[in-house]
Amino acid sequence: MSNGTPEPLVRFINVRKSYDGKADAVRALNLDVETGEFLTLLGPSGSGKTTTLTMLAGFEQPTEGRIFVGGADVTRVPVEKRGIGMVFQNYALFPNMTVGENIAFPLTVRRTPRAEIAAKVARALSMVRLDGLADRRPQQLSGGQQQRVAVARALVFEPRLVLLDEPLGALDRQLREQMQYELKHLHARLGVTMVYVTHDQIEAMTMSDRVAVFSTGQLRQVAPPRLLYEAPESLFVAQFLGESNTLPGTIARLSGSECSVTLADGTTVIATAVGACAAGTAVNVAVRPEKMVLGAAAAACANKVQATLLEVSFLGDQLRLRLGAFGREDIVVKLANGAGQETLDPGAVLTIGWHAGDCRALAS
């Protein structure tokens, strides 16, 4: 490209997909996947993640728009000609083949010489830490081991792109967390581009270079995990990733990137203005529970309010407080577990505060 930016490995241009000619499963999708990156499609069930992935794989055709891989238009290229590795939630291993035969399958169909197959299968097995299990049948393996076989099978022909659709969904929590790190380390070691689908925000944040958030068929924001969490551009993203206190109000005044917002109960808060905001715009002010502070620290903040402590939950690593303020009873504050919190009793009146930079006025 003329500006020196490397061309993305994948490019969706104005992609729309309708299965029934009425509702759009995916619409107006413009998304690039950079070479070597780990990009996750995140969103609730039915938001269009799998549809996006299956169009990239070639199992489904876009109703409108084009898809490019490595600079070439693949919109009408059949699945087997795209050279993409795939891993699904249900493993989809062949039950009547051994582990070794399963992993060899993509090489066999590509008519790879036998000696080369043996070496590549051994390497793939070792990559997913299953050395010595080539002769087992899939049903003789645990769920985690079966999923590793599926990953090895997707990687064995050294594709430039691997797609994974909720691959850890069937595993229990501990194994899932362990496999998240295994996949992330495998990605780092091989440098292969991965596009991953999950509805689990922690999984997405753990593994990804960037996360693309979907809701009802639309890409809402794509950014590195930290930016997505700290600087959501919409109420949907603020609420889907982590927890947010959201206070409806109206913009009273704008000055630079800051604005003052009049809340429903008449109080005013200072917030960071996001997007095209103007005085009179209805917004939701979003504040993360861990950005709210108490007592002396609160006194130093641009935003502070007297609040009544309603409920204290001990969560081990943190305390979760529910408070009444702004005419509401659902203000949540999270404090890291530490000293001096023994005196937090329901009924106490506390000052809670937060900085203008930690609170965003999001047009709804």
Q: Which residues bind ligand ADP (CB under 6 A)?
A: 19, 25, 43, 45-51
Q: How far is the CB of 49 from Mg ion (least distance, A)?
A: 5
> What DSSP assignment string belongs to 217-231?
TEEEEEE-HHHHHHS
Q: Contacts with Mg ion: how many residues (CB under 5 A)?
A: 1
Write down the H helix ranges in the chain. Answer: 49-57, 99-109, 114-127, 143-155, 173-190, 201-207, 225-230, 235-240, 295-299
Using the rule CB under 5 A, which residue among 12, 17, 38, 50 binds Mg ion?
A: 50
Letter for the amino acid at 233? E
Q: Which does 192 bind (CB under 5 to 8 A by kind): Mg ion, ligand ADP, none?
A: none
Which of residues 43 and 100 has its CB atom nearest to ligand ADP in the complex?
A: 43
Which of residues 53 and 127 has its CB atom nearest to ligand ADP in the complex?
A: 53
Q: How far is the CB of 89 from Mg ion (least distance, A)?
A: 8
Under 8 Å CB-to-CB from 255, ≥6 apart: which residues? none
Q: How far is the CB of 163 from Mg ion (least distance, A)?
A: 12
- What is the rounded CA–CA span in Å between residue 304 and residue 298? 6
- What is the rounded CA–CA span in Å between residue 283 and residue 148? 46
Which of residues 25 and 361 has its CB atom nearest to ligand ADP in the complex?
A: 25
- Return the percent helix, strand and coil in the chain, to nearest 5: 30, 35, 35
Q: Which does 19 bind (CB under 5 to 8 A by kind): ligand ADP, Mg ion, none?
A: ligand ADP
Q: How far is the CB of 28 from Mg ion (least distance, A)?
A: 19
Q: Which has the closest alpha carbon to 280: 256, 307, 253? A: 253
Q: How far is the CB of 214 from ligand ADP (least distance, A)?
A: 6
Which region, judged by CB under 5 A, interacts with Mg ion, from 50-58, 229-237, 272-280, 337-345? 50-58
- What is the rounded CA–CA span in Å between residue 135 and residue 150? 15
Give the residues lining the site for Mg ion (CB under 5 A).
Answer: 50
